[in-house]
Amino acid sequence: MGDGAVKIFLNTQGTQDDVSKELKAFLDYVAGKETEDSYVEELEEAVKKAKRNREWRHEYMTLLMRDQENQEIGEKRGEKRGEEKMAQLIILLNEDGRLSDVVRVSQDKEYRQQLYVEYHII
């Protein structure tokens, strides 16, 4: 990814069976499957204890609400950017006399994307 860090991606649905028994047990736990690994059992107890902790629950809910707000902000920015791109495309199509394409881009997302590229909007 170009930042010099080493990143390891693990898949809870993997089928190659190329990880340790302990890691497999942990991945099963993450995937919601029951396992009888002692580390996973300790982890489950710690998670239950954390869920009972009122301060942590409050902090978690605060972070969750902030994440939801940030997601809404991002979606609004994305919608605004999409509207701006569409408006720019419609103006350019109109200038080129391509009025039939104006209707088509309002209904055909793939064609709209092609024209964004053609008109160097994206």
How much is the average pLDDT of 89-104?
Answer: 93
Whether residue 2 is predicted with pLDDT greater than 80 in this model: the reply is no
Whether residue 95 is predicted with pLDDT greater than 90 in this model: the reply is yes
How much is the average pLDDT of 13-18?
Answer: 81
Q: Could you report the per-residue pLDDT of 104-122, keeping only the tens digit for each?
A: 998 999 999 999 999 999 8
pLDDT tier for residue 1 given thresholds of 50, 70 and 90: low
Task: Enumerate the domain spans of the chain.
Answer: 1-44
pLDDT of residue 60: 85
How much is the average pLDDT of 60-67?
Answer: 91
The 3-class SS string of the chain reads: CCCCCCCCCCCCCCCCCCCCHHHHHHHHHHCCCCCCCHHHHHHHHHHHHHHHCHHHHHHHHHHHHHHHHHHHHHHHHHHHHHHHHHHHHHHHHHHCCCHHHHHHHHHCHHHHHHHHHHCCCC
Q: Could you report the per-residue pLDDT of 69-80, keeping only the tens digit for each?
A: 999 998 888 888
Q: What is the mean pLDDT of the chain?
A: 88
